[in-house]
């Protein structure tokens, strides 16, 4: 029982009769309650929750859920779905290969948190519970009942360790607390995958991938389009718990098996879904965020080659983005560029990438002889050297090349084959404005980087990178020219960042040295890039993309954090590194590295890579 | 029977008797410490040569001089007549492969990937061919995989190709290390204590494996403490004591040589000065031996 306190009696409970839930209700009642509660939550979102439109999102309308209600609707629907699946209904069983119970608990918890967060936010903002309409009370009660019902589901309780009777009270308390934590953890733990997936025909698997991509696009578009802080927080809660629930249900791993089987379809599907994003937007406001996220994510993915595959900690990576951006800006025909000519985009992209590669080799050649921390320090230094050198090449402190702190401004818009990126275009009835144009161009660059990452990692050179990361001495003894292979990784990473920089210069109109610092509140900068890689998952493709999206969206959306933004960011990183050091989307190898004690799947399937 | 196999005829492929490895006057100093002093050693094609000696005799240091991890202070090492380059990856490319005393697999790669890494020097595909994925790339990759599987078959790990190296039991990790070394198609294989920590069955299996390697025409130089293993296996045995080569010869000669026994067990005392002192020395030696046995990983492997 959770209410048990630190009474000094010996624990007499553990004789495991029948498995019980956290809440003392019969199993059948709990299951029915959870399922019905999920349905009730869905219904309640069609009611009015408050009487005034002062609370953002207009929750006053009957029959039309808005704002946070939509999130509760999704959460409730998910809960009801898992509830039904836990009854073993035939069509739904495919969704829950690892059992529906823990997924049901998580979904119920997510719905509960979102709904209560909304209700409390309404009460606090408008000044009292009196501002709630009946619908608000209904949803609060319904989600609470759902949660209680879900927590009544039985689970395997861990055996409590016997404790030393000589312990002091404090030690006994700690002992009990540890056991309680283990029980709660076990309540949400999932069983092993029972039945192997029924063989789906190929087209069905592709349909599953398409559906997953469509859902991904929907979630991303919704997140990017959240208009106020409360909605974004609600979105994070629902999305986080929803994803966790799907993971616990075993659906994510099932999906990754399927995507691993059809890698090209997945790649194309993801690309098409991302390309569809600007067409879902009515104006250019969120395409702006989209293109910045894409630049950030692409550079993070390039860094992932250096850090994630070859294991070279590069703290000055953003300098290569700067090199590419400055190179493109100088040949763009900008009036403040020292060179008075303009080259077409394909040429400036090549120039930017090539210059960045040259810088990568120049910086890499002396530094890559160092290992570990020393390399990190030296790259950090080179990153700052780039910024300060650019700052000083203004004609007074040095040669007039970069126009100093003013940077190179009024970079003209791109014009590829008569397609002016600065103009609005109407394609098949959809209006595509400036940032959406650049979004699509940047997406092409991202695709290039993804393909480069995928192909290089699955090859002789990619294996050599991983071998160097794993054990440099052994790799050398296997005939790998460590320095050369590391230099290739470093230069390749620099090239890809430079390529992204060429687009960035045109998107931002201006390149200044301040954009390329080590740490800054606005990504991309070296610290955030590294954080995106580590947060998302080293050595994976989707990891840095997800990490970069989150790291861009969270500061951009949570304006109320204000000056505490970096503090919250640091805190979140510390917590993440404590509890999930392998990142949100871990590489299978990495996950094994960090969780040695867990059951090790002996066979490493392609899906995890 | 393992003892019969020593008498097997010389392998096919390499000309027997022709020196593969020729180390002359190899000396390695670390500051004031001379770890290896003026050691000559020849390994002929189709031979299995053992290198034994008490702990700290400089065997692993000598190995590292042969594989380019250390550049010898004096002396030279020739492989098939060519002086070895001073970089370990070039040594491997030249044809000397090695395993490590404390296993150094790429723990988080699969068994197959480990062997494929070993193929690095025998394949040419660079970054461009990996990115462009022409027909040559696929062909080379397929050939590498086929060869790697062949080697896994040879050491008996083909069924575990997709397992992570870290999940293999100890004995199989040793085998995998050998397969990885063989993947670089060496002419000489250096094994650093290949049976350390193995039980008698596993040791016998390792013995068979080494004979099979020799029969493929690969010369083998092996460091080992297990005397029975060495005496069964080796055509010639060299004894290293305190950085100097004491004696070299066939197993029987070495086994009966008094200096070798003295090096391992200590000199018999001429006029037995006191049983108590002798016992004390013995106890100290046993303790030192035990310490060395329990912490083999501490010995520097580079």
Give the ipTM. Answer: 0.81
Chain A residues with beta carbon closer than 8 angstroms to that of B129: 459
pLDDT tens-digit readout, A520-529: 777 788 888 9
Q: What is the reported pLDDT for B211?
A: 93
pLDDT tens-digit readout, B174-220: 999 999 999 999 999 999 988 888 888 888 999 999 999 999 999 99
CB B245 within 8 A of CB B51: no
Q: What is the reported pLDDT for A559?
A: 73
Closest residue in B to A479 (Cα–Cα) = B89
Question: B237 vs chain A: nearest CA distance in angstroms?
Answer: 25
- The answer, for A609 touching chain B at a CB cutoff of 8 Å, is no
Q: What is the reported pLDDT for B112?
A: 92
- The answer, for A454 touching chain B at a CB cutoff of 8 Å, is no
Which pLDDT band holds residue B298 (cuts at 50, 70, 90)?
A: very low
Which pLDDT band holds residue B12 (cuts at 50, 70, 90)?
A: very low
d(CA A61, CA A45): 10
Q: Which of B100, B120, B163 sits opposite A603 (nearest CB)?
A: B163
Question: A84 vs chain B: nearest CA distance in angstroms?
Answer: 38
What is the radius of gyration, based on Cα positions, of chain A?
27
Which among A362, A300, A302, A320 is positioned nearest to A536, based on CA atoms? A300
Return the structure tokens found at B131. Answer: 């990115």
If one compares B235 and A424, the residue with the highest pLDDT of the two is B235
Are A459 and B121 within 8 A, CB to CB? no
CATH number given to A289-562: 1.10.3470
CB A590 within 8 A of CB A577: no
Which CA distances in Å does A557 have to A223, A295, B28, B258? 9, 18, 63, 82
Q: What is the reported pLDDT for A306?
A: 93
pLDDT tens-digit readout, B104-149: 999 888 899 999 999 998 888 888 888 888 888 899 999 999 999 9
Q: Which of B88, B140, B181 sits opposite A476 (nearest CB)?
A: B88
d(CA A240, CA A243): 5
Q: What is the reported pLDDT for B48?
A: 92
Closest residue in A to B125 (Cα–Cα) = A460
Closest residue in A to B115 (Cα–Cα) = A478
Q: What is the reported pLDDT for A593?
A: 57
Are A479 and B92 within 8 A, CB to CB? yes
Question: B170 vs chain A: nearest CA distance in angstroms?
Answer: 15
What are the sequence ranges of the domains in chain A?
A: 18-256, 289-562
pTM score: 0.82
Spans in chain A with pLDDT lower than 50:
1-16, 597-609
Q: What is the reported pLDDT for A326?
A: 92
CB A1 within 8 A of CB A187: no
Are A479 and B120 within 8 A, CB to CB? yes
Are B164 and A589 within 8 A, CB to CB? yes
DSSP annotation string for A94-124:
GG-TT-SHHHHHHHHHHHHHHHHHHHHHHHH
Chain A residues with beta carbon closer than 8 angstroms to that of B133: 455
Chain A residues with beta carbon closer than 8 angstroms to that of B126: 460-461, 488
Give the number of A-B residue pairs with CB atoms closer than 8 Å.
Answer: 120
Say which residues have a Cβ less than 8 Å from residue A269's Cβ, sequence separation at least 6. A209, A210, A213
Return the structure tokens found at A468. Answer: 């160097």
Q: What is the reported pLDDT for A591?
A: 57
Percent of chain B beyond pLDDT 90? 26
Return the structure tokens found at B227. Answer: 């005397």
Q: What is the reported pLDDT for A451?
A: 92
Which among B21, B92, B94, B31 is positioned nearest to B62, based on CA atoms? B21
Q: Which of A458, A479, A488 sits opposite B184 (nearest CB)?
A: A479
d(CA A84, CA A88): 7
**Residue B194 DSSP class:** T
Question: A494 vs chain B: nearest CA distance in angstroms?
Answer: 15
Question: A99 vs chain B: nearest CA distance in angstroms?
Answer: 27
Closest residue in A to B104 (Cα–Cα) = A474
HSE of A575, CA atoms in CB hemisphere, 13 A? 6
Q: Which of B92, B98, B127 sits opposite A492 (nearest CB)?
A: B127
Residue to mutate among A456, A461, A477, with most B CBs inside 10 A, is: A477
Say which residues have a Cβ less than 8 Å from residue B3's Cβ, sequence separation at least 6. B232
Contacts for B150-154: CB closer than 8 Å, 24+ residues apart:
B151/B115, B151/B179, B151/B182, B151/B183, B152/B111, B152/B112, B152/B115, B152/B179, B154/B179, B154/B182, B154/B212
Chain B residues with beta carbon closer than 8 angstroms to that of A603: 162-163
Question: A450 vs chain B: nearest CA distance in angstroms?
Answer: 11
Closest residue in A to B98 (Cα–Cα) = A477
If one compares A588 and B262, the residue with the highest pLDDT of the two is B262
- The answer, for A603 touching chain B at a CB cutoff of 8 Å, is yes
Chain A residues with beta carbon closer than 8 angstroms to that of B65: none
Query: For the ranges A426-430, B7-11, B298-302, which has the lowest average pLDDT?
Result: B7-11
Residue to mutate among A263, A306, A311, A479, with most B CBs inside 10 A, is: A479
Say which residues have a Cβ less than 8 Å from residue A569's Cβ, sequence separation at least 6. A531, A551, A554, A555
CA A114 to chain centre: 20
Q: Which of A480, A592, A602 sits opposite B108 (nearest CB)?
A: A592
Q: Which of A456, A474, A592 sits opposite B127 (nearest CB)?
A: A456
pLDDT tens-digit readout, B171-180: 899 999 999 9
Task: Report the DSSP beta bridge partners of residue A425.
Answer: A432
pLDDT tens-digit readout, A63-81: 778 788 888 888 888 888 8
Question: B65 vs chain A: nearest CA distance in angstroms?
Answer: 12
CB A122 within 8 A of CB A50: yes
Are B163 and A476 within 8 A, CB to CB? no
């Amino acid at each position: 029982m959770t209410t048990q306190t630190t009474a000094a009696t010996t624990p007499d409970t553990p004789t495991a009769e029948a498995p019980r839930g956290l809440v003392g209700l019969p199993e059948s009642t709990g299951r029915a309650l959870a399922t019905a509660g999920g349905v009730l939550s869905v219904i309640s979102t069609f009611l009015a929750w408050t009487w005034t439109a002062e609370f953002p999102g207009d929750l006053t309308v009957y029959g039309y859920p808005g704002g946070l209600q939509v999130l509760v609707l999704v959460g409730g629907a998910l809960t009801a779905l898992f509830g039904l699946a836990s009854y073993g209904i035939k069509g739904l069983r495919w969704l829950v290969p690892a059992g529906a119970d823990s997924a049901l608990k998580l979904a119920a918890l997510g719905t509960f948190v979102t709904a209560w967060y909304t209700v409390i936010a309404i009460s606090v903002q408008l000044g009292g519970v009196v501002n709630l309409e009946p619908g608000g009370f209904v949803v609060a009660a319904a989600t609470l009942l759902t949660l209680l019902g879900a927590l009544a589901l039985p689970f395997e309780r861990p055996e409590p360790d016997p404790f030393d009777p000589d312990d002091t009270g404090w030690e006994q308390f700690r002992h009990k607390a540890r056991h309680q934590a283990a029980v709660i953890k076990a309540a949400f733990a999932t069983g092993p995958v029972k039945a192997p997936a029924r063989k789906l025909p190929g087209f069905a698997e592709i349909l599953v991938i398409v559906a997953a991509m469509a859902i991904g696009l929907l979630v991303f578009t919704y997140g990017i389009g959240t208009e106020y802080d409360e909605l974004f927080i609600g979105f994070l809660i629902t999305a986080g718990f929803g994803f966790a629930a799907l993971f616990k249900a075993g659906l994510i791993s099932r999906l990754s098996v399927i995507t691993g089987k059809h890698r090209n379809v997945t790649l194309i599907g993801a690309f098409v879904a991302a390309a569809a994003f600007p067409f879902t937007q009515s104006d250019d406001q969120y395409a702006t965020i989209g293109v910045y996220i894409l630049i950030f994510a692409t550079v993070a993915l390039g860094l992932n080659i250096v850090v994630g595959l070859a294991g070279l900690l590069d703290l000055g990576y953003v300098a290569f983005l700067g090199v590419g951006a400055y190179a493109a800006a100088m040949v763009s025909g900008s009036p403040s560029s020292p060179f008075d000519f303009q080259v077409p985009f394909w040429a400036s992209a090549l120039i930017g990438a090539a210059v960045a590669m040259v810088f990568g080799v120049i910086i890499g050649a002396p530094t890559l002889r160092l290992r570990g921390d020393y390399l990190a320090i030296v790259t950090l230094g080179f990153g700052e050297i780039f910024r300060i050198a650019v700052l000083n090449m203004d004609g007074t402190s040095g040669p007039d090349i970069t126009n100093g702190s003013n940077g190179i401004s009024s970079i003209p818009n791109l014009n590829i084959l008569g397609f002016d990126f600065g103009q609005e275009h109407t394609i098949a009835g959809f209006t595509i404005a400036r940032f959406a144009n650049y979004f699509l161009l940047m997406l092409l660059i991202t695709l290039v980087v993804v393909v480069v990452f995928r192909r290089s990692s699955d090859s002789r050179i990619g294996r050599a990178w991983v071998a160097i990361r794993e054990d440099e001495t052994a790799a050398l003894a296997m005939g790998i020219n460590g320095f050369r292979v590391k230099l290739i990784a470093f230069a390749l990473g620099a090239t890809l960042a430079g390529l992204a920089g060429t687009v960035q210069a045109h998107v931002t109109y201006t390149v200044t040295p301040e954009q390329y610092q080590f740490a800054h509140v606005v990504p991309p900068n070296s610290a955030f890039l590294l954080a995106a890689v580590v947060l998302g998952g080293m050595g994976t493709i989707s990891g840095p993309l997800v990490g970069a999206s989150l790291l861009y969206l969270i500061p951009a959306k949570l304006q109320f954090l204000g000056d505490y933004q970096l503090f919250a960011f640091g805190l979140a990183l510390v917590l993440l590194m404590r509890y999930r050091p392998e990142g949100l989307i871990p590489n299978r190898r990495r996950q094994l590295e960090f969780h040695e004690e867990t059951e090790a799947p002996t066979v490493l399937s392609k899906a995890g890579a | 029977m393992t003892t019969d196999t020593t008498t097997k005829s010389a392998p096919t492929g390499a000309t027997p008797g022709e020196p593969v490895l020729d180390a002359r006057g190899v000396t390695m100093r670390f500051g004031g410490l001379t770890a290896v002093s003026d050691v000559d050693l020849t390994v002929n094609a189709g031979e299995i040569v053992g290198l034994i000696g008490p702990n700290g005799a400089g065997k692993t240091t000598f190995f590292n001089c042969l594989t380019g991890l250390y550049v010898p202070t004096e002396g030279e090492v020739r492989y098939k007549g060519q002086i070895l380059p001073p970089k370990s990856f070039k040594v491997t490319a030249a044809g000397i492969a090695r395993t490590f005393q404390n296993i150094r697999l790429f723990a988080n790669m699969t068994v197959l990937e480990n062997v494929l890494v070993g193929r690095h020097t025998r394949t040419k595909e660079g970054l461009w061919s990996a990115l462009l994925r022409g027909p040559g790339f696929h062909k080379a990759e397929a050939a590498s995989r086929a060869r790697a599987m062949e080697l896994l078959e040879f050491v008996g790990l083909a069924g575990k190709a997709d397992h992570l190296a870290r999940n293999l039991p100890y004995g199989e990790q040793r085998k995998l290390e050998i397969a990885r070394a063989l993947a670089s198609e060496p002419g000489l294989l250096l094994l650093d204590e290949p049976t350390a920590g193995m039980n008698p069955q596993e040791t016998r299996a390792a013995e068979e494996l080494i004979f099979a390697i020799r029969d493929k025409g690969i010369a083998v130089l092996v460091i080992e403490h297990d005397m029975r293993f060495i005496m069964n296996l080796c055509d010639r045995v060299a004894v290293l004591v305190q950085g100097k080569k004491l004696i070299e010869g066939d197993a029987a000669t070495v086994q009966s040589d008094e200096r070798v026994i003295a090096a391992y067990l200590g000199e018999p005392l001429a006029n037995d000065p006191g049983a108590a002192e002798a016992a004390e020395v013995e106890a100290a030696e046993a303790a030192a031996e035990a310490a060395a046995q329990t912490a083999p990983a501490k010995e520097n492997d580079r």
